[in-house]
């Protein structure tokens, strides 16, 4: 498999400048989820130029390109395209100064603070290389450019818009993410990779009264405080110490005056988990606790629990991950390895799951390797290395883009390599 990858990657020198230019342009022109019109138009135009069968506007701004070359497996590779409402402070010559109107109608700064511009640039580099080396592989290639990953609704938007009917059923699906590891590094792991994320809004009901007359009230502020304390015990006291999960109450709102007991309180919380059983357990436990605390307070009404957003867990198929791990180690040598379990979340897996396709997600590093080594030496990685979503997140262009492009080639060829390559 190395030989075939090497043959395709012979073209890398010839397209490097184009990929880098495309990346800088994307970075300077970020677009919020479901508004990726400029990005998707550019992507579609290039794919057409290189002979891909292109369908655009799927789920709003999603694009797919299909390239068929005889019998063989079908491989789907996905890149996300959206940026974040973050004001860039990197000081890079190609930094974003863009603002846009968000879904609530507010004018916000926009930045590629999660590196999705890296993903798009690498996927285009990959698409170009594969189109130019069709004697090396056989099968069907599906490159998928997804909108609105950050809002968790882009994969679903493409699926609801008939994605499954528009492409051949893939035998395997891949996605990659640039993360705060040294640039040049590629890391994969079998099983759990990214957490599930569930955000809830819980409204607790009491009975309002004068601040001096608590006997006439059911105080929702006290009830909310009891819930906050009780909910801390779900992870710490009900789950095994070896089962990772996070429960964070990020927002608590009640009342507006020191001498008025309000009639309701609102908690907003976020749960991270890595498997369906834990996820269901924690979400059920939250409901059990807030209902019981409400009852214990003598609340006049049951609490209401509203789901604000949800991301599935990203769990890599063990066989696919093993095959990829071998291919990455054969190509990248010591720069390939494993990565820690990540607490971030993704909606990518909704696509292969809806198509019944096994999948694998991997990480590429984006931090200058010397800077990373220095921070490691000083023990200050957490303080000195900007992470995704930080206004200072600035992947180094190389070797990040070469590595991301090569990783896609190596992965695809681990399935599409023709017998004689």
> From residue 65 to residue 104, what is the string marking binding to Zn ion with x (rule CB under 5 A)?
----------------------------------------
| Choice between 9 and 351, CB closer to Zn ion | 351
Where in 283-382 does DSSP place strands (E)? Answer: 304-311, 314-316, 336-337, 359-367
The pair of structure tokens assigned to 38 is: 């400029």
Q: What angle do the packed helices 116-131 and 397-416 form, to 10 degrees?
A: 50
In the complex, least distance from residue 221 CB atom to Zn ion, rounded to whole angstroms: 34
In the complex, least distance from residue 399 CB atom to Zn ion, rounded to whole angstroms: 20
| Choice between 114 and 394, CB closer to Zn ion | 114
CB atoms within 10 A of CB 253: 14
List residues bridging with 375 in a β-sheet.
none
Give dist(CA 202, CA 303) in Å, integer. Answer: 7
Residues of span 39-58 touching Zn ion by CB under 5 A: none
Stretch in the footprint of Zn ion (CB under 5 A) among 48-56, 110-118, 182-190, 393-401: 110-118
Q: Which of 58, 114, 224, 364 binds Zn ion (CB under 5 A)?
A: 114
| Choice between 114 and 409, CB closer to Zn ion | 114
In the complex, least distance from residue 123 CB atom to Zn ion, rounded to whole angstroms: 14
Q: Are 246 and 272 in contact (CB under 8 A)?
A: yes
| Choice between 114 and 157, CB closer to Zn ion | 114
Cis peptide bond N-terminal to 399, omega within 30 = yes
Q: Are 63 and 137 in contact (CB under 8 A)?
A: no
Q: Are 186 and 335 in contact (CB under 8 A)?
A: yes
122 binds Zn ion (CB under 5 A): no
Stretch in the footprint of Zn ion (CB under 5 A) among 109-117, 192-200, 281-289, 335-343: 109-117
Bridge-based pairing of strands 172-182 and 359-367 is parallel
| Choice between 114 and 227, CB closer to Zn ion | 114
Residue whose Cβ sits closest to Zn ion: 114
Query: Could you say which DSSP state residue 76 is in?
Result: E
106 CB contacts (<8 Å, ≥6 apart)?
none
In the complex, least distance from residue 400 CB atom to Zn ion, rounded to whole angstroms: 14
Angular region, 110: left φ>0, alpha ψ -120 to 50, beta rest: beta
List residues bridging with 252 in a β-sheet.
267
> From residue 150 to residue 179, what is the string marking binding to Zn ion with x (rule CB under 5 A)?
------------------------------
Pick the closest to residue 75 from 159, 139, 7, 162 (CA basis). 139
123 binds Zn ion (CB under 5 A): no
In the complex, least distance from residue 229 CB atom to Zn ion, rounded to whole angstroms: 31
194 binds Zn ion (CB under 5 A): no
In the complex, least distance from residue 389 CB atom to Zn ion, rounded to whole angstroms: 6
The pair of structure tokens assigned to 46 is: 């290039």
Stretch in the footprint of Zn ion (CB under 5 A) among 27-35, 49-57, 108-116, 164-172: 108-116
Give dist(CA 387, CA 80) in Å, integer. Answer: 18
| Choice between 146 and 405, CB closer to Zn ion | 146
The site for Zn ion, by CB under 5 A, has a size of 1
| Choice between 114 and 172, CB closer to Zn ion | 114
| Choice between 261 and 364, CB closer to Zn ion | 364
32 binds Zn ion (CB under 5 A): no
In the complex, least distance from residue 152 CB atom to Zn ion, rounded to whole angstroms: 10
The pair of structure tokens assigned to 138 is: 């056989």
Stretch in the footprint of Zn ion (CB under 5 A) among 53-61, 113-121, 162-170, 248-256: 113-121
In the complex, least distance from residue 110 CB atom to Zn ion, rounded to whole angstroms: 13
Instruction: Let me know if 323 is exposed, middle or buried by CB neighbors in 10 A (0-12, 13-18, 19+).
Output: middle
Q: Tell me phi and psi for residue 86, to 5 degrees.
A: -130, 140
In the complex, least distance from residue 147 CB atom to Zn ion, rounded to whole angstroms: 13
Give dist(CA 208, CA 219) in Å, integer. Answer: 7
| Choice between 117 and 317, CB closer to Zn ion | 117
Q: Are 28 and 145 in contact (CB under 8 A)?
A: no
| Choice between 66 and 114, CB closer to Zn ion | 114
SS3 state of residue 163: helix
In the complex, least distance from residue 370 CB atom to Zn ion, rounded to whole angstroms: 25
Give the footprint of Zn ion on this chain (CB under 5 A).
Answer: 114
């Amino acid at each position: 498999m190395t030989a075939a990858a090497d043959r395709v990657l012979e073209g890398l020198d010839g397209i490097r400048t184009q990929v880098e230019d495309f990346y800088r342009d994307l970075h300077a022109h970020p677009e919020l989820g479901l508004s990726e019109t400029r990005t998707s138009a550019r992507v579609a135009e290039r794919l057409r130029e290189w002979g891909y069968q292109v369908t655009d506007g799927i789920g709003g701004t999603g694009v797919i390109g299909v390239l068929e070359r005889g019998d063989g497996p079908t491989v789907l590779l996905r890149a996300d395209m959206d940026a974040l409402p973050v004001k860039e402070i990197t000081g890079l010559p190609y930094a974003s100064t863009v603002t846009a109107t968000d879904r609530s109608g507010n004018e916000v700064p926009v930045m590629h603070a999660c590196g999705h511009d890296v993903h798009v640039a690498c996927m285009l580099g990959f698409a170009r290389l594969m189109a130019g080396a069709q004697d090396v592989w056989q099968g069907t290639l599906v490159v998928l450019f997804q909108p609105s990953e950050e809002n968790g609704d882009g994969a679903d938007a493409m699926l609801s818009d008939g994605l499954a009917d528009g492409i051949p059923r893939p035998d395997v699906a891949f996605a990659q993410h640039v993360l705060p590891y040294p640039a040049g590094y590629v890391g994969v792991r079998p099983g759990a990779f990214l957490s599930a994320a569930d955000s809830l809004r819980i409204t607790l009901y009491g009975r309002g009264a004068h601040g001096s007359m608590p006997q006439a009230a059911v105080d929702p502020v006290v009830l909310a405080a009891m819930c906050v304390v009780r909910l801390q015990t779900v992870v710490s006291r009900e789950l095994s110490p070896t089962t990772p999960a996070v429960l964070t109450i990020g927002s608590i709102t009640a009342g507006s005056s020191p001498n008025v007991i309000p009639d309701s309180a609102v908690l907003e919380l976020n749960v991270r988990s890595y498997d369906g059983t834990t996820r269901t357990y924690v979400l059920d436990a939250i409901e059990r606790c807030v209902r019981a605390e409400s009852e214990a307070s003598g609340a006049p009404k049951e609490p209401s629990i509203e789901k604000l957003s949800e991301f599935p867990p990203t769990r890599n198929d063990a066989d696919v991950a093993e095959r990829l791990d071998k291919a990455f180690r054969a190509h990248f040598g010591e720069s390939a390895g494993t990565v820690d379990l990540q607490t971030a979340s993704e909606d990518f897996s909704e696509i292969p799951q809806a198509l019944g396709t096994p999948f694998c997600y991997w990480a590429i590093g984006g931090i200058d390797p010397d800077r990373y080594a220095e921070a490691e030496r000083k023990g200050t990685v957490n303080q000195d290395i900007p992470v995704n979503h930080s206004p200072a997140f600035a992947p180094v262009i190389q070797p990040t883009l070469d590595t991301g492009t090569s990783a896609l080639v190596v992965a695809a060829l681990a399935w599409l390599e023709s017998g004689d390559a």
